[in-house]
Amino acid sequence: MSNRIFLSACITFMLMAIYCFAAEPVYRLDDIVITASRVESTVKESGMSVTLIKKEDIEEMGAQTLSEVFVKEPGLLNFNILGNPQSAKIDIRGYGEAAPQNALVLIDGRRVNNIDLTGADLSQIPVDAIERIEVYRGPASVLYGDNATGGVVNIIMKKGEGKPKLLIGSTGGSYNYIKNKISLNGSQKGFSYYILTSNTDTDGYRHNNDFNSKDIFGNISIDPLKKMGFTIKFGHHRDNYGLPGSLLRRGELAGGIWDRKDSKEPNNNGSTEDNFVDVEGRFLLTDYLTLTLSGSVRNKHNATHYEGAGWFSDSKGHLKTLSFTPQVILTSPILKKKNTLTVGVDYYRYPSVTDFYGGAWVANTGNVWKTDLGYYINDKFSLTKDLLLEAGYRYQVSRYEFDYTDQVFTANSYQGRKTDRKDAFRFSVNYAFTDKGSVYASYSKGFRFPVADEFIGIDPTTFAPFFNPNIAPQTVEEYGAGIRWNPLKWLGGMVSLFQSTTHNEIYFNPKYKQVFGIWLGANENYDRTKRFGVETKVFLNLSERFSIDLFYSYIEAKFDGGVFDGNTIPFVPKNKFGGSAAYRYIFNNHQFNLSLTASGVDNRYVISDQENSQRKMPGYFLLDTSVVYKFKDSFTAVFAIKNILDKDYYEYAAYSPNRNDVGMYPAPGRTFSLGLQYQF
């Protein structure tokens, strides 16, 4: 514990120890966020760790994907299996392999996570259409239900503004990368619209690493009366991609048998089609009472194809999401004190069908219908002008219906039902000690229900898949505290600390059972896990033109009990660190932005190495840069270099006990891109 206290003291000292000058405050404490309370509030008022990424920040970085945007966020780790947007995932506060199921991604409050192991598909979120991103660290099950155990990323999309504007742009780069986009937006007399269409095509860093996608996103708002408004959002995404597979660390890469860019799986591939429509109505019933009615429909089709020596297997999935999420917000004062009460219901229905093919016939079919019904209440009360108290509660019921048919081993077929119930709490206190800073403390309890794929095990006799309905939901309790402060105009930052305990954490055990010398894997529940972490970010303005951001996070993730007691949870690095420097120059109608970003991650155990017996996956340190030129509000040019030093590194690796080796997934080397766009 002494090391933790020393670490916290060093970080706090770093916030205060740097001296320089600037003209304006650098930490945006008055920026509006909605993620922390599901209603609008400022960063300074939040009783949790929340940060905001604006569209200007994204443009300054020259980012083409969400993974690039999250590089500078402490406590949030990117990893990418294939190096393309489709396989990009995020981990909030150290959940390792199961991170996609423990980090909830929202688009304007709509859930993007699937009920399978893929989690949220970040490739479906066009960076060009993002207005801002809110990152919420810590359990948020009270407000958002399932999957929010590690945290939430809420992506707010752009809306039309002002006179009609047409934007045309194109970006080209390494590995035959090309991206074209066209957007149209505007507003007039209570009617606004924003429509973006884009397509991306690249060969990828490795062989059989190609990726092609087409996207359409639309946002239409109608406000016929001051007390009434309607919004319709729609999207279409389609992609095709190669699956190059892994390369064994000792058996292939170390001996030079295969090169980093090689693929042993030249014919494996996948595809996705995803469509959604959201409808929302907002009604101001009184000066203090607002009713919001939201509903959405989503259809997703995905397919994969794998080939071996004389065989092939395919899977085809159809996932549908139906939702209805009414919410009431009451802002009536209590005892003349400011008070905001939020009450809502979340209903989600997930019918899913997956067919598995072996050869030319359907080997088995798995149907899973999941229904979530959650009720929540959250209240934020101003005990004094500077002291805010917040409390929330959720009760959720999740029902599963299984219909699994095995055409080969009929004994493995399963039909049944399962119902799980969980509740969640959260309490926080936030004190604004000045108009430039606040401190907070919080307690949160959250949950996560199993996704459909996690009920599948392996029959030790036939080696065929079978349903295992005994996987239990996991629960987490977390204590947190933090400070946000802009003590001087040139200096600002945040520090947050957390301690969490998770019971029944769901994981994949690669050594579930050994039959005839072969290890069979299945999903299980850990007894208990614990995490401790510190996250910090510092903002400095050295002059009106030059600024620096520094970030650092430390996460210690351990097993607490069971056969892995005391071991480190795989795929969770203890340290993430880095910073960025930006130079801005404006001359008449010309604006130049030059940025340099450094980011580093230390060594970590590879996926499926719960025994901590394998050599760690090496850490990495990357440098990226971009130059952005703008002429008025019409012409923009962006030149970017990622991985300037051309480092050989890996963001993903997994241990295979049957091969007694580690499968490595090489990340891209140095890449260049140049983008041009013009707005009429």
Q: Which of 121, 115, 117, 119 has its CA nearest to residue 368?
A: 115
Per-residue pLDDT tens over the stretch 145-202: 999 999 999 999 888 989 999 999 999 999 999 999 999 999 998 899 999 999 999 9
What's the CA gap between 451 and 370, in Å, rounded? 9
Note the pLDDT of residue 27.
Answer: 60
Task: Please tell me whether residue 477 adopts helix, strand or coil conformation.
Answer: strand
How much is the mean pLDDT over the chain? Answer: 88
Note the pLDDT of residue 279.
Answer: 95
Residue 651's pLDDT band (boundaries 50, 70, 90)? very high
Residues in Cβ contact with 385 at an 8 Å cutoff, skipping those fewer than 6 apart: none
Q: Are 313 and 357 in contact (CB under 8 A)?
A: yes
Per-residue pLDDT tens over the stretch 197-230: 999 999 999 999 999 999 999 999 998 877 899 9
SS (H, E, C) 601-655: ECCECCECCCCCCCCCECCEEEEEEEEEEEECCCEEEEEEEECCCCCCCEEEEEE
451 phi/psi in degrees, rounded to 5 = -85, 170
Count other C-beta atoms under 10 Å from residue 643's C-beta.
17
Q: Are 634 and 679 in contact (CB under 8 A)?
A: yes
SS (H, E, C) 526-588: CCEEEEEEEEEEEEEECCCCEEEEEEEEEEEEEECCCCCCCCECCCCCCEEEEEEEEEEEEEC
Residue 658: DSSP 8-state: T
**Domains with residue ranges and CATH for the chain:** 2-679 (2.40.170.20)
Answer yes or no: is pLDDT of 310 > 70.
no
DSSP notation for 143-195: HH-TT-SSEEEEEEEP---SS-EEEEEEEEETTTEEEEEEEEEEEETTEEEEE
Residue 5's pLDDT band (boundaries 50, 70, 90)? very low
Residue 71: DSSP 8-state: G
- The label of the residue with tokens 């270099």 reads 641
Residue 255's pLDDT band (boundaries 50, 70, 90)? confident
Q: Which of 635, 116, 9, 26 has its CA nearest to residue 368?
A: 116
What's the CA gap between 486 and 540, in Å, rounded? 10
Answer yes or no: is pLDDT of 366 > 80.
no
Per-residue pLDDT tens over the stretch 491-550: 899 999 999 999 999 998 888 888 888 888 888 899 999 999 999 999 998 888 999 999
Q: Are 181 and 156 in contact (CB under 8 A)?
A: no
Residue 123: DSSP 8-state: G
Residues in Cβ contact with 610 at an 8 Å cutoff, skipping those fewer than 6 apart: 507, 509, 559, 564, 567, 569, 570
The H or E element containing residue 521 is strand 518-525
Task: Please tell me whether residue 75 adopts helix, strand or coil conformation.
Answer: coil
What's the CA gap between 573 and 556, in Å, rounded? 8
Per-residue pLDDT tens over the stretch 24-78: 456 667 777 776 667 777 887 888 998 888 888 888 777 878 888 898 899 999 8
274-292 b/e with 16+ CB inside 10 Å = b?
bebebebebeeeeeeebeb
Percent of all residues in the chain with a pLDDT value above 70, rounded to a whole number: 93
- The label of the residue with tokens 């050599």 reads 615
